[in-house]
A and B are shown apart, each in its own frame.
Chain A
């Protein structure tokens, strides 16, 4: 049963090999990186199959029993997240290779693998300090990816991104210290045993720790009021990296789901109503900010980044309800919004690299204007939540799950109005980029020579390999919509398992069988 640790070990072994042995041979690095990611996808499929029967698999490192040693825990939720990560990684990697982004700086593939290691580790760990360590692993790799290929704006945005996340890490440590001081353990299952034992009137320190942890995860998940770093970072990061970062915000959402359900969730008298009370209004404001950002953006990349902020708001509104149906909706929307955001960044990359920049102003149309327009609008439809793609079903599930009288008005109006504003923003951006551009003709050339030179600097056509990742992401979104029934049945079981706190505790803390 060593399969559980493979999503961490495989990239961890592959990354240094790529970094040290294949540093001068980009072809070799590409082959190794793709092979590693395909293998990771296969492992993730295997793990999802393993977890599908509903047992919680526990991997004890060094075979130390749970509260003392570090454990990795595989349940349906972690398996789903690892599968999501590896599928997204493969799509992004194909794009990065076919567009040549990976060759514009050093060590793209090594950092990419380290990033996957950190993300998979964060999804699999059953120890909250280990979660911190994996956060740092994925962050330090993301710092390198964020400033990949350099440039003034990118370096500066990268610096802000690093400072923001380092401050977040410090806060994480403060939270862990507080939690350890009041409970004496950092194992999630053990915490899930001890936190409910603390009576509500003595839970002040635990409440502080719970809120501190939520702020830390909110920084990752780009929740108001700590969402401000995201648009600057994502819009200045290399586009494939921004597409990969679509999963990073979900790491924050996953951590909120895991920690604030299993540890501080329903059944802990001191903290059970804490997370929802603060999370819900913050998520509503996040939706509004995302929608206004989409409407006000003057460049394409920030526009997409703001739509990511809005989608995180929708996701966290569903998370904040902390019920099984709402969590099912949140998980469906999480899978959808990851691929939708990645798809938008990838198609935007294809368009932007063929224009003078990503400013939203009419320009000479690119040679494959029709193809790009179709892909962009398909992705935008998915992101904004219009039928027939999975965004519509995702938002419908979220709306359907929120029926509490105090919440329904806020949630429904925020999500519906936010969606409308997002549609308007995307429609305006797309019509400027793709339709107004067709009205522009080549500035009348005085003689044939200039016309020739204008034609010769035309950027190359997008190859099949460059369009395929976008198509693949769209196909996943379409598949999510077509197979919504089976998928949401699986997710129903996933959220039921997540809320089954006793089962989780029993599986992790059960004594080690003798061998």
Chain B
């Protein structure tokens, strides 16, 4: 159980970071989505992994339960990352339509005076 969760978080994060470093908008968006999946699972696991247990304390003796707080945190995180991904897609689309290219870095402008500055920024 632990090894599956841990390795899936690791693989998702690695894939997310790799895609995040790409130069085109679409892979970067996918990378951020993967990263947010990874962090959701990670948050979920931060309250210790427990299978088949209720997220409430039972009044009838059985003391084992799963921590409910990370579940609430994960819900918040899912909502926010979903919304943010939607915003990112819209801004990426806007940038693509304005510039006719989905490269994510700033290309040097045509007149030489500004080119060096954009490169350093």
Q: Could you tell me which A residues sit within 8 Å of B by CB distance?
A: 129, 133, 136, 140, 143, 147, 150-153, 155-160, 162-163, 166-167, 169-170, 173-174, 176-178, 180-181, 186, 228, 231-232, 235, 293, 296-299, 302, 359, 361
Question: Contacts of B83 on A, CB cut-off 8 Å?
Answer: 140
- CB atoms of B117 and A170 under 8 A apart: no
A–B complex contacts, Cβ < 8 Å, 30 sampled: A129-B73, A129-B76, A133-B76, A140-B84, A143-B87, A147-B91, A151-B98, A156-B95, A159-B25, A159-B92, A159-B104, A160-B104, A162-B88, A162-B91, A166-B81, A167-B35, A170-B16, A173-B43, A173-B77, A177-B42, A177-B73, A178-B46, A180-B43, A180-B69, A181-B45, A232-B106, A296-B120, A298-B116, A302-B121, A359-B114
The answer to whether B39 and A136 touch across the interface, beta carbons within 8 angstroms, is no
Q: Are B94 and A136 in contact (CB under 8 A)?
A: no
Given pairs A158-B91, A166-B88, A296-B117, 17 additional interface contacts (CB within 8 A): A143-B87, A143-B91, A150-B98, A152-B99, A155-B98, A156-B99, A156-B104, A162-B88, A167-B20, A169-B81, A170-B38, A173-B39, A177-B43, A186-B73, A232-B106, A232-B118, A296-B120
Interface set, chain B 85-111, CB cutoff 8 A to A: 87-88, 91-92, 94-95, 98-99, 104-106
* Most B-side CB within 10 Å, residue of A153, A173, A359: A173
Q: How far is the CA of A178 from the CA of B45 in the complex (A)?
A: 10
In the complex, are the beta carbons of B39 and A174 less than 8 A apart? yes
Contact B95 A159 (CB under 8 A): yes
* Residue from A133, A174, A359 with most neighbouring chain B CB atoms (10 Å): A174
8 A Cβ contacts from B58-86 to A: 69-70, 73, 76-77, 80-81, 83-84
Chain A hits for B69, CB < 8 A: 180
Q: How far is the CB of B114 from chain A (nearest CB, A)?
A: 6
For B106, B113, B117, the residue with the greatest tally of chain A CB atoms inside 10 Å of its CB is B117
Q: A163-B104, A170-B36, A176-B73 are in contact. Are A158 and B95 (CB under 8 A)?
A: yes
Q: How far is the CA of A298 from the CA of B113 in the complex (A)?
A: 7
Q: How far is the CB of A310 from chain B (nearest CB, A)?
A: 15
B95 touches A180 (CB 8 A): no
Check B91 against A180 for contact (C-beta < 8 Å): no
Instruction: State in angstroms the CA–CA spacing of A156 and B96 once bound together.
Output: 8
Q: Which 3 A-B pairs have the closest CB atoms?
A: A155-B95, A177-B46, A181-B46
Cα(A293)–Cα(B121), bound, Å: 9
Pair A298/B94 contact, Cβ less than 8 Å:
no
Known contacts A166-B84, A293-B120: A299-B35 contact under CB 8 Å: no
Residues in chain B near residue A361, CB distance under 8 A: 113
Chain B residues with CB under 8 A of A152: 95, 98-99
| Residue pair B70, A180 in contact (C-beta under 8 Å) | yes
Chain B residue contacts of A147, Cβ below 8 A = 91, 94
Determine how close the nearest CB of chain B comes to the CB of A165; give it in whole angstroms: 9
Give bound CA distance, A160 to B121, whole Å. Answer: 12
Cross-chain contact B88 with A163 (CB below 8 angstroms): yes
Kindly identify which residue among A156, A167, A297, A299 contacts B32, using a CB–CB cutoff of 8 Å: A167
Known pairs A156-B99, A159-B91, A180-B70; A166 contacts B46 (CB<8 A) = no
Q: Please give the residue numbers on chain B whose beta carbons come within 8 Å of chain A beta carbons, in ascending order.
A: 16, 20, 25, 28, 32, 35-36, 38-39, 42-43, 45-48, 69-70, 73, 76-77, 80-81, 83-84, 87-88, 91-92, 94-95, 98-99, 104-106, 113-114, 116-118, 120-121
Shortest beta-carbon distance from A155 to chain B in Å: 4
Residue from A133, A158, A181, A293 having most chain B Cβ neighbours under 10 A:
A181
Q: Collect the chain A residues with CB atoms within 8 Å of residue B48's CB.
A: 181
> Contacts of B105 on A, CB cut-off 8 Å?
160
With A140-B87, A298-B114: A157-B106 Cβ-Cβ less than 8 Å: yes
Cβ of A150 and Cβ of B117 under 8 Å apart? no
Chain B residues near A155: list those with CB within 8 A.
91, 94-95, 98-99
Taking CB atoms, residues of chain B closer than 8 Å to A181 are 45-48
Whether the pair B35, A170 counts as a contact (CB closer than 8 A) is yes
Cβ of A127 to closest chain B Cβ, rounded Å: 11
* Across-interface contacts of A170 in B (CB, < 8 A): 16, 32, 35-36, 38-39, 81
Among A147, A159, A180, the one with the most B-chain Cβ atoms within 10 Å of its Cβ is A159
Query: In the bound complex, how far is the Cα of B77 from the Cα of A176, in angstroms?
Result: 11
B25 nearest in chain A by CB position? A159
Write the nearest CB–CB distance from A225 to chain B, whole angstroms. Answer: 15
In the assembly, what is the distance between CA of A318 and CA of B39, in Å? 33
Chain B: minimal CB distance from A428 (Å): 14
Q: Give the chain B neighbours of A186 by CB distance below 8 A.
A: 73
A160–B16 Cα distance when bound, in Å, is 16
Cα-based distance from A408 to B114 in the complex (angstroms): 38
Contact B35 A180 (CB under 8 A): no
Contact B87 A163 (CB under 8 A): no
Q: Which of A180, A297, A359 contacts B73 (CB 8 A)?
A: A180
- Chain B residues whose CB sits within 8 angstroms of the CB of A143 once the complex forms: 87, 91
Contacts of B73 in A (CB 8 A): 129, 176-177, 180, 186
A133 is contacted by which of B47, B80, B121 (Cβ under 8 Å)? Answer: B80
The closest CB in chain B to the CB of A228 belongs to B121
CA distance A293 to B116 in the complex (A): 12
A170 to B35 Cα, complex, angstroms: 7
CB distance from B35 to the nearest CB of A (A): 5
From B33, which residue of chain A is reached at the shortest CB distance?
A166
Which residues of chain B are near A228, meaning CB under 8 Å? 121
Q: Are B99 and A163 in contact (CB under 8 A)?
A: no
